[in-house]
Structure 1
Amino acid sequence: MHLAQPHAETIVKLAREQFGPEVRVWLFGSRTDDSKRGGDIDLLVVVGHALDNRMLAAARFDAALQMALGAQKFDVLLLDPSSEPQPIHAIARTEGIELTTAAQNPEQLRLLNLLEVVRREAVWLLRAEKRLFAYPLDTAWFAGLEHDDAASETLEAFVSRFARLQENLGDKLIPACLRALAERTGSALDNLNRAEKLGLLWSTQDWLAARTLRNRMVHEYQPAPEDLLQALQAARQLVPHFVATYNAINRRLASSLGIGEDWPDCVAQ
């Protein structure tokens, strides 16, 4: 639907404030058609109790919407138990999107929470990257790790955050995004390939390579100095791709479902 999630939540909040917690609100018309852009915000508001004056109540609700969301064009149909049913009311219910249900959709709430978790992990990874690559990553640095708590903790932070971000982004957020977009999900490889085709993932091959690098960096045995140094440099090159994947998912969800928020692209190092 072409209605931002914060706007949908505001509409529901205002409806509940004016008509009570049991009110139901549907969005219908052009705003539910992904092939169209913009248009009036058509709303069907169904109230379970009798209203003294439906026209006045609808006008006040329209005014509250304009005060909260700006001078947009709202078209409010307000029904109470005494309303005479009209064909447009049935169309709004059957072809529209119920905002009061969407606002409480557990799957959508989980997706929003996952977006925020991955966003925070990406920010933390970028911070760890900045600290780690402030060191001269060479064999002398590697040899001193055993006696340099700050350097070893910075290395651990970068490696663990790299691994955690890739796991949550690839194993959790990408499948959740595909489900939200009504795309078929399958094996981890199927999901990655589908995400690449949709323009959400830069390269399935590089993603799998990143997983191999992650395993090399966190392997139980101590790698040779040169192997670890090369793995760290390779991982650093992939960090902006992780961020770009998150941004692509966020933009697609914001465009298609009206959820998510813009997040700045990774700043080139």
Structure 2
Amino acid sequence: MRTTDSDVRRVTQLLDLVEREDEHLRGVQARFFGTVPEQGVDGEWVTRTLSNPEGIDRLESFGAKFGRMQDTVVDKLLPALLTAAGEHPGAAIDNLNRAERLGFINAADDWLIMRRLRNRLVHEYMTDPSAMASALRQARALTGELHSAFIAMRDFASSHFS
């Protein structure tokens, strides 16, 4: 498969988009969690945080941005990057396994966990504050994986398509 200028332009556009999504996600993460250590995100913290409209808005913003960046990376950037690299993209899980082999991500299984978390944070109103706290701790930690994957893909594109 031959790489075209159009393929490279598409990767560049998507990298620009994911860079903005990454900045926004990390920004809302900092505003939502503040300086609370991981172990401080518990059921009581969730109840307190969601007791006011600002906390609810920040939760919704964090969940939406977490899901949006993950969707863009998995559904758009990764297939475009594989295409530009001369590979044939496949199903999301196959692309994630390829991304793991190429060193873009640490573990494809983490990205499957991310997808489930995304669905829980975006589509469900959890009634158990402890379950919400657990999901938020996981999502908070996996935000770093999203950022690292973006950096790895950006670096790959810079070294292969510049």
- Aligned pairs (5 A) from 1:175-214: 175-214=79-118
- Aligned match of 2:12: 112
After superposition, what is the alpha-carbon deviation per residue over 1:148-169, rounded to whole angstroms, capped at 9, x for unaligned? 1111111111111000010001
Shift of 1:187: 0.9
Shift of 1:142: 3.0
Q: Give, in whole Å, the separation in 1 of the partners of 2:158 and 2:51.
A: 48
Shift of 1:144: 4.2
Question: Is residue 8–residue 161 contact of structure 2 (8 Å, CA) maintained in 1?
Answer: no
Structure 2 Cα separation of the partners of residues 256 and 109 of structure 1: 13
CA distances 1:45-67 after superposition (whole Å, capped 9, x unpaired): xxxxxxxxxxxxxxxxxxxxxxx
**SS, match of residue 169 in structure 1:** helix
CA distance in 2, matches of 1:252, 1:146: 40
What amino acid is the match of 1:224? D
Residue identity (%): 36
2:26 to 126, 151, 167: 126
**Alignment CA distance shift 1:224-1:169 (3 Å):** same
Provide the C-alpha distance between the structure 2 equivalents of 1:192 and 1:245, rounded to a whole number of angstroms: 11
* TM-score normalised per structure 1: 0.54
Instruction: Report matched runs for 1:44-123 at 5 Å.
Output: 105-123=5-23
Name the structure where strand makes up a greater proportion of residues.
Answer: 1
Q: CA RMSD in A?
A: 1.8
CA 1:138–1:205 in structure 2 vs 1: closer, same or farther (change >3 Å)? closer
**How many angstroms apart in 2 are the aligned matches of 1:125 and 1:174?**
19
- Aligned-pair distance for 1:146? 5.5
What is residue 78 of structure 2 aligned with on the other side?
Answer: 174
Whether the 8 Å CA contact 2:97–2:108 is kept in 1: the answer is yes
What one-letter code is carried by the residue in structure 1 that aligns with 2:17? V
Distance in 2, matches of 1:150 and 1:173, equals 32
**CA pair 107-164 structure 1, distance change in 2 beyond 3 A:** same
Check if 1:252 corresponds to 2:152. Answer: no
Which residue identity is paired with 1:125? Answer: L
Partner of 1:224: 128
Deviations for 1:127-162, whole angstroms, at most 9, x for unmatched residues? 111111126644344334554111111111111100
Aligned AA (1:129) = Q
Amino acid paired to 1:121 = E
Determine helix, strand or coil for the equivalent of 2:104. coil
How far apart in 1 are the matches of 2:76 and 2:68?
11
User: Quick one: distance in 1 between partners of 2:46 and 2:142?
Assistant: 22
